[in-house]
């Protein structure tokens, strides 16, 4: 049986969803398994016009800089590439070069294709979606509301030391997967690409629509955030609150965002932890909350860091920061609510993720006054 059929079958067995969403997911699963935009010219440029020439020079400059920057390990190379790209974007502005939502939709569609290519490469559970969501999350979750630093605006995970922070271990996989798309669409900023990829992964893996809009710009190594701004999975409730409150989230939003652990798995060679949270790690469902409440969780006996495993199969895991959601009264009431209603979680998760992905971006930078809703690939 093909990987596509296996995943589609697992999705049907393990997930009870609305008929509309189920139909869309089934259609996609049967077909697959397991920074600002360039507008294509609508026709030949008038004689004497230099707009296409300027646009071509801009695209070539950006593409060349991006290739050199990504191939180089030095922060100075990346900074030079950022400066070059800024000049190219200025050239696009001078040429009245205005990207459209349709252009970003093309990027979305291309991301969706690349995410599914993991099945052919036998990566994890057959999708790059979970690791790409983690990239979008970690590149945004460094925001500090008191200093107004960090967040998704400058894509500073391209630089050391942020790229090598412990919480970002393994995310080079996601950055490398998305880099060919950056070369194909050199006009999009890394911040827009990474967050749009997170939106794509959530939607294409059966999750809710995530409102999103472009406008992030690429920054410099000097704008890297200090280590310690992302959650430490070995900690307790106080730590969780400190991390998320610093970003501006409340207890309900904390629980909603942690539900992203429905996707993916931990790797002992990255975070030190090992295993998936659910039996369907490439499907966005509320199973994380159901399992957290209904399974019997015991401490795993092994040589790695403290984590829990389900007593029944010993194949699932929970992190200490997951488990505290059931031990804290304020957190637990939302765990119960989301376990009872996937629709409620989808609504709250969508709102919280959309806000997360915009942290640190000045409102005036966005190209639209309100976020967009991107079409799923089966809606195009």
State whether 210 and 299 are in the same domain. no
Question: Phi first, then psi: what are they for 308, rounded to 5°?
Answer: -105, 155
Residue 380 pLDDT:
83
State whether 248 and 209 are in the same domain. no
Tens digit of pLDDT for each residue in 151-207? 999 999 999 999 999 999 999 999 999 999 999 999 999 999 999 999 999 999 999
Q: Is residue 173 part of a domain?
A: yes
Q: Is residue 43 part of a domain?
A: no
State whether 138 and 225 are in the same domain. yes
Within a 10 A sphere around the Cβ of 17, how many other Cβ atoms?
21
Inform me whether the pLDDT recorded for 6 exceeds 80.
no
Percent above pLDDT 90 for the chain:
73
Tens digit of pLDDT for each residue in 204-238? 999 999 999 999 999 999 999 999 999 999 999 99
Residue 166 pLDDT:
95
- Of 42-51, 147-156, 178-187, 365-374, the range with the lowest mean pLDDT is 42-51
Q: Is residue 69 part of a domain?
A: yes
Tens digit of pLDDT for each residue in 256-275? 999 999 999 999 999 999 99
Annotated catalytic residue, options 137, 138, 187, 212: 138
Q: What is the mean pLDDT of residues 104-130?
A: 95
Whichever domain contains 344, its CATH number is 1.10.420.10
Q: Is residue 56 part of a domain?
A: yes
Exposure string for 248-270, b = 16+ CB within 10 A, e = fewer: ebebbbbbbbbbbbbbbbbbeeb
Domain encompassing residue 215: 3-8+17-38+98-230+358-379
Tracing tokens 């999705």 back to the chain, one arrives at 11
State whether 346 and 370 are in the same domain. no
State whether 281 and 185 are in the same domain. no
State whether 258 and 369 are in the same domain. no
Which phi-psi region, left, alpha or beta, contains residue 314 (left: φ > 0; alpha: ψ -120 to 50)? left
State whether 32 and 158 are in the same domain. yes
Per the structure, the count of domains in the chain is: 3
Using CB atoms within 10 A of its CB, is residue 288 exposed (0-12), middle (13-18) or buried (19+)? Answer: buried
Annotated catalytic residue, options 277, 297, 334, 345: 277
State whether 340 and 291 are in the same domain. yes
Residue 101 pLDDT:
97
Q: Is residue 45 part of a domain?
A: no
Tens digit of pLDDT for each residue in 294-346? 999 999 999 999 999 999 999 999 999 999 999 999 999 999 999 999 999 99
Averaged pLDDT of the chain: 83
Q: Is residue 44 part of a domain?
A: no
State whether 34 and 165 are in the same domain. yes
State whether 102 and 192 are in the same domain. yes
State whether 252 and 303 are in the same domain. yes
Tens digit of pLDDT for each residue in 56-75? 434 434 443 444 444 455 55
State whether 132 and 190 are in the same domain. yes
HSE of 157 in the Cβ direction (CA atoms, 13 Å)?
A: 32
Give which of 282, 256, 278, 254 is closest to 338, Cα–Cα. 256
CA-CA distances (angstroms) from residue 364 to 103, 115, 202?
21, 31, 26
Residue 44 pLDDT:
38
Q: Is residue 335 part of a domain?
A: yes
Whether residue 345 lies in the annotated active site: no
Whether residue 261 lies in the annotated active site: no
Q: Is residue 375 part of a domain?
A: yes
Confidence of residue 96 (pLDDT cuts 50, 70, 90): low
């Amino acid at each position: 049986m093909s990987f596509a059929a296996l995943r589609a079958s697992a999705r049907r067995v393990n997930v009870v969803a609305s008929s509309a969403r189920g139909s869309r997911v089934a259609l996609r699963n049967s077909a697959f398994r397991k920074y600002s935009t360039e507008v294509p010219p609508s026709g030949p440029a008038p004689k004497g016009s230099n707009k296409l020439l300027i646009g071509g020079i801009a695209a070539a400059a950006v593409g060349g800089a991006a290739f050199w920057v990504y191939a180089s390990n030095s922060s100075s190379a990346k900074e030079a590439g950022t400066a070059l790209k800024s000049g190219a974007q200025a050239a696009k502005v001078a040429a009245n070069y205005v990207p459209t939502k349709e252009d970003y939709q093309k990027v979305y569609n291309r991301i969706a294709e690349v995410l599914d290519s993991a099945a052919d490469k036998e990566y994890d559970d057959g999708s790059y979606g979970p690791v790409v969501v983690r990239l979008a999350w970690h590149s945004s979750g460094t925001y500090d509301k008191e200093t107004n630093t960090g967040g998704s605006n400058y894509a500073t995970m391209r630089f050391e030391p942020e790229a090598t922070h412990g919480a970002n271990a393994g995310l080079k996989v996601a950055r490398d997967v998305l880099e060919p798309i950056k070369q194909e669409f050199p006009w999009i900023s890394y911040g827009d690409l990474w967050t749009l990829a997170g939106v794509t992964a959530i939607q294409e893996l059966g999750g809710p629509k995530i409102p999103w809009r472009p406008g992030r710009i690429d920054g410099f190594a000097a704008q890297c955030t200090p280590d310690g701004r992302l959650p430490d999975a070995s900690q307790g409730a106080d730590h969780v609150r400190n991390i998320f409150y610093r970003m501006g989230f409340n207890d309900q939003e904390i629980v909603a965002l942690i539900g992203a652990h429905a996707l993916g798995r931990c790797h002992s060679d990255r975070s030190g932890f090992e295993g998936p949270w659910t039996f369907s790690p490439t499907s966005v469902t509320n199973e994380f909350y159901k399992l957290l409440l209904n399974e019997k969780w015991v401490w795993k006996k092994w040589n790695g860091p403290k984590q829990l495993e389900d007593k029944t199969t010993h194949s699932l895991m929970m992190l200490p920061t997951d488990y505290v959601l059931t031990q804290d009264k304020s957190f637990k009431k939302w765990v119960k609510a989301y376990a009872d209603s996937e629709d409620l979680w989808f609504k709250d998760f969508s709102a919280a993720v959309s806000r997360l992905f915009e942290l640190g971006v000045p409102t005036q930078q966005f190209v639209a006054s309100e976020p967009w809703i991107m079409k799923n690939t089966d809606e195009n």
